[in-house]
Amino acid sequence: DDCEFVCVTRLHNTYNDYTFDQTTIEPGQSLEIQRPDCTLCYVMFSDHVVKDTAVLLGKKMYKMSSQTLSVTNNQTERVRVLRYYR
């Protein structure tokens, strides 16, 4: 079974301060990720995606500093996108 788990922890009893959502990018498709009106926003991908000519590694948290992030899934499988913000 090719199952992997992601565990996101919250420090100092701040569980209710964060929102966690997810979406899917199909193979060969692109997605523009919006940064909500928040103070802190992170995204993570289940596999590598491409932003312009740069590869963003899968299973690594990226802090969003701009309002949008456009990425493309060049994999042969779906890529899950996790967005975590407060």
Structure confidence by residue, pLDDT tens digits, 58-67: 999 999 999 9
Query: Is this model's pTM higher than 0.85 or not?
Result: yes
**Which pLDDT band, with edges at 50, 70 and 90, does 9 fall under?**
low
Residue with tokens 């420090």: 11
The CA distance from 2 to 22, in Å, is: 19
Assign 10 a pLDDT band (cuts: 50, 70, 90).
low
Q: What are phi and psi of 19, to 5 degrees?
A: -115, 140
Q: Which residues, at least 6 apart from 61, have a Cβ–Cβ distance to it below 8 Å? A: 42, 43, 44, 84
